[in-house]
């Protein structure tokens, strides 16, 4: 059907569409801004509380801006406990666990996606079923196992299970590798490459978004992990940061200012990791079809 | 290519299996070798190491040196063993998670300090060893310790814990607010005509002022039945009978006390509750200068001592038909399945002696020491920075102590009480209805006990 409208009519329609579009964008930004504000609010409260005097922390109505600003809370929270050692411990546990998880999950994910072996489907099903077993259910057997190994009060119980039993990571990599055409592997095989070489030189370099996505998610998880360090660690010099943060609480009271200052300090590595890898993170989540 | 795929499958399966087996063998070999060389070095270089034991409890950074010092002192008395202190961070629930996991795995710490709230469920599940045979064998006498110290931990002729110290409740009050309201300070004697429910309520009304977000309240406490029950006791009531066989909250004594509290909350609007203030942390409101009187335990003393914005004091709880305050006694226990019960007992026994009790007093920790001689000799050193008269408020509190009736299924019972408590808190039901609803859920649980 031919367009019978004149140029002025078309111009007017376009203007109306533009106005509607602009209005829609304003509304959209308004909603997003409110959502972003709600997300930022707890973070803002944490920073604000970390700079308050202890008596001002739970004032009702809340005092949003600290007055006076108590910068010394940061120094005090750092020196009241061996936070430096805990920082090193957390960095060690979270980094090794994350790198190990990425390696083991990508290897297993590659196998599930591109290698054909007997029982692959069932094995994957069993692996995914382990996602439904809560950590509390496996805690006691794990504890007995690590006692037998002589690993209690060491960082091994935090690292080894993380590296060897990450079904979520395996599934994420499997999904990602399935999006890569088999032709690449076939071409490499024709050139004489074995499975490990195909994995290491072709598939892993293509999986940077998935590596970033899993890296960020796992680093955050291992950085914040509380229950396992609580159960397995006894010596204060092996404590990770979440245990140190919990030390600002006791059976009856909580030192909120120091707790929030220490929490803000503890947040720095996670934010750095996210900022450095956020582009890949979004891409990885989109490509693997996984959302939180 | 089916052939290639079969080969791939075969190699892949066996490849991973072989790697895993090799890793497992390597790990086991490393462990064995490590132990062998440790033993070998020990035989060559030094006499056999002292046997190692551990004691644990929750402790903040400020308490850790105290417990380390106690353990170091104990180590000097028993050179053939080496004890260490493991600090558990966080709350009693965190300690409980660790304790239960260790018990289930069969490798608990050799001694642990647990909270009174954990006692019932631990006894019920068999997590605690009976200390009575050791206690009697070594000739310890209950008479040497403060009245009531051991009562909570003795059940059916068995002793499940060595009290760590005695806690009671009293009123912390804001002297500046009392001055501003033209009120005299409460007395420092318990069970006196000068400080009854009437005087207490009048003071709370006089201290209440303002409205909205800046409102000042006359009275506050942790809004929980375990705190408010003090008023029921003061009226000679309780929430279960002495045999823990039925609920007694609907009886006149308990109802009258609950209605007294209800009147202060609803009619006077003088009692700061979470529903009224929007905050669960009433202690923070007190420390922020917005509550005139705050009822809580001795365990709040370190937090109160840090108050700089106003002058504060400690007063007895008001008298109803009687004077009562709760008795809260955490204890050092021997978990079931410890590797050497005799050594565990030696540590627990040490905690009943004067040396560690004096250390506790020096550090103002764990309330009133249980050993009578230390409590009497060191009374002047307890509860700083209180005046001598106010120190006596805490020291005399134990004479009016009332055991909290922790039933065997206390955890279950407490959870069952909460719905009615919450409805009362937000004004949906009155005290009579709350008591009726609580009775309806308490009795079946007690029947199962």
Helices (H), A115-207: 120-129, 135-149, 156-164, 167-178, 182-190, 195-198, 204-206
Shared domain check, B186 and B126: no
Task: Check pLDDT > 50 for residue A1.
Answer: no
CA proximity to B111, closest of B136, B143, B141, B78: B78
Same-domain pairing of B279 and B411: yes
Question: Tens of pLDDT along A194-222?
Answer: 889 999 999 999 988 889 888 988 998 99
Half-sphere exposure of B120 (CA within 13 A, CB side): 14
pLDDT tier for residue A43 given thresholds of 50, 70 and 90: confident
Same domain, B78 and B120: yes
**Amino acid B70: pLDDT:** 95
pLDDT attached to residue A256: 80
* Token pair 């009133």: residue: B368
Looking at the domain assignment, is residue B443 inside a domain? yes
Please determine, for residue B293, whether its predicted confidence score (pLDDT) is greater than 70: yes
Which chain B residues are closer than 8 Å to A235 by Cβ?
Answer: 86
Q: Does B89 share its domain with B228?
A: no
Query: For an interface test with B, which of A104, A252, A254 has the most B Cβ atoms less than 10 Å from its Cβ?
Result: A252
Question: Do B200 and B261 reside in the same domain of the chain?
Answer: yes
Interface with chain B: mutation pick from A55, A114, A148, A161, highest number of B CBs within 10 Å? A55
CATH of region A80-288, choose from 1.10.3720.10, 3.40.50.720, 3.40.720.10, 1.10.10.10: 1.10.3720.10
CA distance B137 to chain A (A): 33
Confidence band for A247, pLDDT divided at 50, 70 and 90 = confident
Q: Which residues of A touch B (CB under 8 A)?
A: 54-61, 80-81, 111, 115-118, 139-140, 143-144, 147, 149-150, 152, 189, 195, 227, 230-231, 234-236, 239, 243-244, 246-253
Which chain B residues contact residue A135 at CB under 8 A? none
Please name the member of B8, B61, B86 whose beta carbon is closest to the beta carbon of A116.
B8
Task: Among B92, B101, B279, select the one facing A58 at the smallest CB separation.
Answer: B279
| Contacts with B174 from chain A: Cβ below 8 Å | none
pLDDT at res. B14: 52
What interface predicted TM-score (ipTM) does this complex get?
A: 0.76
Residue B194 shares a structural domain with residue B273:
yes
Residue ranges per structural domain of chain A: 7-50, 80-288
Task: Quote the CA–CA distance of A236 and B110 in Å, as a whole number.
Answer: 18
For residues A62-74, give the mean pLDDT.
82
Q: Which domain holds residue B257?
A: 168-327+405-448
Q: How confident is residue B159, by pLDDT bands cut at 50, 70 and 90?
A: very high
Candidates B105, B294, B303, B307, partner chain A, best to mutate (most A CBs within 10 A): B105
Is the pLDDT at B1 greater than 50, yes or no? no
Q: Do B5 and A150 touch (CB under 8 A)?
A: no
Closest by CA position to A152, among listed A250, A272, A56, A234 = A234
Total residue length of chain B: 449
Closest CA relative to residue A94, chosen from A158, A169, A170: A158
Q: Clarify whether residues B227 and B257 are in a common domain.
A: yes
Q: Which residue of A has its CA nearest to B63?
A: A250
Residue B89 distance to chain A (closest CA, Å): 5
Q: Do A54 and B34 touch (CB under 8 A)?
A: no
Query: Using CA atoms, how far apart are residues B433 and B429, in angstroms rounded to an integer?
Result: 6
- Report the alpha-carbon angle A160-A165-A169, nearest 5: 115
The answer to whether B234 touches B323, Cβ cutoff 8 Å, is yes
pLDDT tens digits, residue range B414-430?
889 999 999 999 999 99
User: For residue A215, what are its two tokens?
Assistant: 């890296």
Q: Which of A183-197, B211-225, B254-268, B434-448 has the highest mean pLDDT?
A: B254-268
pLDDT tens for residues B203-256? 999 999 988 777 899 999 999 998 999 999 999 999 898 888 899 999 999 999
Give the pLDDT score at B380.
Answer: 83
How much is the pLDDT for A291?
47
For residues B74 and B152, state if they share a domain.
Answer: yes
B189 and B151 within one domain? no
Residue A63: enclosing H or E segment and its boundaries?
none
Judged by DSSP in three states, A18 sits in helix
Residues B121, B177, single domain; the answer is no
Mean pLDDT of chain B: 86
Residue whose token pair is 């376009």 = A14
Tell me if B40 is assigned to some domain.
Answer: no
How many separate domains does chain B show? 2
What's the CATH code of the domain at B209? Answer: 3.40.190.10
Contact call for B300 and A253, based on CB within 8 A = yes
User: Does the pLDDT value for residue A10 go beyond 80?
Assistant: no
Are both B55 and B88 inside the same structural domain? Answer: yes
* Chain A contact set for B12 (CB, 8 A): 111, 115, 117, 195
B220 and B198 assigned to the same domain: yes
Task: Tell if the CB–CB gap between B61 and A227 is shorter than 8 Å.
Answer: no
- The answer, yes or no, to whether residue A110 has pLDDT greater than 50, is yes
């Amino acid at each position: 059907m031919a367009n019978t409208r004149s140029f002025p009519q078309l111009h007017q329609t376009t203007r109306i569409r533009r106005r509607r579009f602009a209005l829609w964008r304003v509304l959209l930004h308004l909603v997003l801004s409110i959502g972003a504000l709600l997300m930022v609010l707890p973070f803002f409260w944490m920073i604000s509380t970390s700079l308050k005097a202890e008596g001002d922390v739970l004032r009702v109505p809340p005092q949003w801006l600290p007055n006076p600003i108590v910068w010394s809370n940061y120094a005090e929270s750092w020196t009241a406990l061996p936070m430096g050692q805990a920082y090193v411990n957390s960095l060690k546990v979270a980094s090794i666990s994350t790198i190990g998880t990425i390696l083991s999950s990508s290897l297993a994910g590659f196998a599930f996606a591109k290698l054909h072996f007997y029982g692959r489907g069932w094995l994957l099903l069993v692996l995914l079923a382990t996602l439904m077993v809560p950590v509390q259910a496996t805690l006691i057997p794990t504890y007995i196992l690590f006692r037998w190994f002589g690993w209690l009060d060491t960082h091994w119980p935090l690292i080894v299970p993380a590296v060897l039993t990450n079904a979520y990571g395996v599934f994420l990599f499997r999904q990602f590798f399935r999006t890569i055409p088999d032709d690449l592997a076939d071409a490499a095989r024709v050139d004489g490459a074995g499975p490990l070489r195909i994995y290491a030189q072709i598939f892993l370099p293509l999986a940077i978004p998935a590596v970033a996505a899993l890296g960020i998610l796992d680093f955050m998880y291992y950085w914040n992990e509380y229950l396992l360090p609580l159960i397995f660690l006894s010596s204060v010099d092996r404590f990770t940061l979440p245990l140190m943060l919990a030390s600002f609480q006791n059976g009856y009271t909580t030192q909120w200012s120091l707790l929030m200052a220490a929490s803000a300090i503890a947040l720095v590595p996670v934010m750095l990791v996210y900022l450095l890898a956020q582009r890949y993170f979004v891409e990885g989540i989109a490509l693997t079809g996984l959302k939180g | 290519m089916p052939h290639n795929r079969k080969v791939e499958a075969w190699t892949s399966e066996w490849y991973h299996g072989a790697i895993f087996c090799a890793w497992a063998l390597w790990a086991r070999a490393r462990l064995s070798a490590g132990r062998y060389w440790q033993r070998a070095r020990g035989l060559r270089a030094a006499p056999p190491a002292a046997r190692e034991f551990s004691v644990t409890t929750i402790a903040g950074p400020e308490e850790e040196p105290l417990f380390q010092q106690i353990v170091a002192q104990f180590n000097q008395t028993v050179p053939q063993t080496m004890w260490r202190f493991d600090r558990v961070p966080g709350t009693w629930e965190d300690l409980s998670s660790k304790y239960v996991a260790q018990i289930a795995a069969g490798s608990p710490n050799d001694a642990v300090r647990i909270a009174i709230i954990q006692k019932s469920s631990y006894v019920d599940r068999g997590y605690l060893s009976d200390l009575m045979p050791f206690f009697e064998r070594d000739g310890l006498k209950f008479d040497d310790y403060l009245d009531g110290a051991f009562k909570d931990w003795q059940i059916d002729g068995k002793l499940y814990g060595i009290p760590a110290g005695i806690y009671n409740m009293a009123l912390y009050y804001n002297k500046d607010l009392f001055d501003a309201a033209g009120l005299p300070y409460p007395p420092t004697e318990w069970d006196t005509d000068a400080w009854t429910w009437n005087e207490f309520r009048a003071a709370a009304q006089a201290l209440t002022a303002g409205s909205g977000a800046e409102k000042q309240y006359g009275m506050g406490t942790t809004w929980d039945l375990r705190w408010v029950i003090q008023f029921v006791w003061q009226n000679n009531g309780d929430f279960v009978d002495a045999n823990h066989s039925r609920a007694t909250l609907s009886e006149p004594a308990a109802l009258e006390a609950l209605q007294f509290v209800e009147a202060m909350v609803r009619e006077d609007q003088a009692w700061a509750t979470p529903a009224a203030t929007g905050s669960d942390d009433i202690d923070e409101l007190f420390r922020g200068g917005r509550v005139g009187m705050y009822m809580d335990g001795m365990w709040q003393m370190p937090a109160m001592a840090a108050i700089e914005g106003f002058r504060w004091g400690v007063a007895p709880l008001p008298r109803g038909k009687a004077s009562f305050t709760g008795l809260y006694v955490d204890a050092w226990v021997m978990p079931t399945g410890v590797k050497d019960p005799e050594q565990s007992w030696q540590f627990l026994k040490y905690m009943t002696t004067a040396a560690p009790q004096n250390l506790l007093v020096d550090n103002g920790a764990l309330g009133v020491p249980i050993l009578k001689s230390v409590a009497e000799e060191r009374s002047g050193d307890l509860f700083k920075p209180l005046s001598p008269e106010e120190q006596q408020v805490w020291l005399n509190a134990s004479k009016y102590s009332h055991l909290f009736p922790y039933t065997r299924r206390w955890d279950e019972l407490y959870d069952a009480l909460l719905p009615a408590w919450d409805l009362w808190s937000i004004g949906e039901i009155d005290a009579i209805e709350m008591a009726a609803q609580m009775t309806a859920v308490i009795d079946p649980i007690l029947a199962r006990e």
